[in-house]
Amino acid sequence: MNFWGDPLVGQSPAFRETARLVARMAACDAPVLIEGETGTGKELAARAIHYQSVRQNGPFIPVNCGAIPDSLIESELFGHRKGAFTDARENQPGLVTLAEGGTLFLDEVDALSPKGQVTLLRFLQDQEFRPLGSRRVEHGNVRVLAASNASLPLLAERGTFRADLLYRLRILCLELAPLRERRGDVGLLASWFLDACDARYGLGAKVIHPDSLAWMGHYHWPGNIRELENLLYREYLLSEGPVMQIEPPKAMNPIPREAQEAPPPSDLTFHRAKARAVEAFERDYLVGLLGMAGGNVSLAAKLAGKERRSLGKLLKKYGLGSAPRQKRFQLDEHISA
């Protein structure tokens, strides 16, 4: 069952546990911190909490914290009055006012600057704020949900995220499992996306060749559900015939089933076997680390406790390299992000 009403389905134990927690968290009105790798569906989870809660008839206002300039953070959140600054030609409500009676979803909250963190903390303490240029203190009635690709407790420990803000945001915590830990869900998700493609583009029903499903079931999916969605949209639109035989792109570096299950050859020396095990660990760790950091090498280095140059050498060693944050695939402007 697709309890989010959007392309995120499943029946794995990890997914069922997430569904159970979403229902429980929707029943109360406390802040929730949603954690998980990029592409795991954090905004969809936030929407599920909102639309199952008593605030379901109120607005759901998402905001990308990483896209708000430091100089505009207070104006964006709390609004401003005419004449508050040079370009303030009229009164403008902030996101808190727009979310009145509903939910304010703070995506990529880990990207907030120190100033932004202080501004948000002050509001969370009593939900009172003052628009720029106004002398009157106003009260907001919103539920705050936040999401982060990175581990906020780890960032707080390193001093890059305020611990007091973390405690305000993390009264409840929902951690979304990466796709590689949702055994059996890849096939269900793939069917959902192909049905959605058929409904949107009308090129006819298509299915995935069993050989392709086999490697997809054992692939690491560093971009998680978003990566799977992008792959299937592209293949659906470009493939000919009803059966899609998808070859794993070289950049994907799928994990062969044999490599996961086969015991090490008996003719390996101890040192060679150890070297192979270390290489396998390093590759898996780096892929997961990049996923947690959203492809940001500098942030990945902080999370790993390594210098950026040192981490860069490791990434180059395994052909991973730096990559921009995962984006939803768009063939044209009609494919929604």
pLDDT, the chain, mean = 83
d(CA 22, CA 175): 11
Q: Between 321 and 163, whose confidence is greater?
A: 163
Mark whether 254 and 271 lie in a shared domain: no
pLDDT at 24 over 80: yes
- Single out the residue in 232, 260, 288 at which a domain terminates: 260
CATH number at residue 256: 1.10.8.60
- Single out the residue in 216, 244, 260 at which a domain terminates: 260
What is the pTM for the complete model shown?
A: 0.70
Mark whether 154 and 103 lie in a shared domain: yes
Task: Find, among 296, 297, 299, the residue nearest to 325 by Cα.
Answer: 296
Q: Between 73 and 248, whose confidence is greater?
A: 73
Instruction: Tell me the pLDDT band of 255, cut-offs 50, 70 and 90.
Output: low
pLDDT at 322 over 50: no
Residue 71 neighbours by CB under 8 Å, 6+ apart:
none
Instruction: Work out the average pLDDT over 93-118.
Output: 94
Widest CA span in the chain: 79
pLDDT at 29 over 50: yes
- Position 283 scores a pLDDT of 79
Q: Is residue 164 part of a domain?
A: yes
> Cα 80 from chain centroid?
31
Mark whether 302 and 315 lie in a shared domain: yes
pLDDT one-digit tens code per residue, 37-64: 999 999 999 999 999 999 999 999 999 9
- Position 321 scores a pLDDT of 58
Domain range for residue 212? Answer: 183-260
Instruction: Tell me the pLDDT band of 324, cut-offs 50, 70 and 90.
Output: very low
d(CA 36, CA 174): 9
Task: Find, among 155, 150, 154, 158, the residue nearest to 175 by Cα.
Answer: 150
pLDDT one-digit tens code per residue, 299-315: 777 777 788 888 888 88
Q: Between 276 and 337, whose confidence is greater?
A: 276
Stated as kind and residue range, the H or E segment containing 51 is helix 42-51
Q: Are 194 and 7 in contact (CB under 8 A)?
A: no
Instruction: Tell me the pLDDT band of 254, cut-offs 50, 70 and 90.
Output: very low
Instruction: Work out the average pLDDT over 249-264.
Output: 52
Mark whether 43 and 170 lie in a shared domain: yes
Domain count, the chain: 3
pLDDT at 262 over 70: no
CA distances from 95 to 57, 90, 110, 122, 252 (A): 17, 16, 18, 15, 39
Handedness of CA 55, 61, 63, 68 (dihedral sign): negative
For 49-77, the DSSP string reads HHHTSTTTTS-EEEEEGGGS-GGGHHHHH
Task: Find, among 4, 9, 323, 299, the residue nearest to 148 by Cα.
Answer: 299
- Position 89 scores a pLDDT of 74
Q: Is residue 329 part of a domain?
A: no
Q: How many helices (H) and strands (E) does the chain have?
A: 14, 11
pLDDT at 330 over 50: no
- Position 326 scores a pLDDT of 37
Q: Is residue 8 part of a domain?
A: no
- Position 224 scores a pLDDT of 94
End-to-end CA distance of the chain: 23
Instruction: Tell me the pLDDT band of 3, cut-offs 50, 70 and 90.
Output: very low
- Position 8 scores a pLDDT of 52
pLDDT at 86 over 90: no
Mark whether 95 and 244 lie in a shared domain: no
- Single out the residue in 160, 177, 194 at which a domain terminates: 177
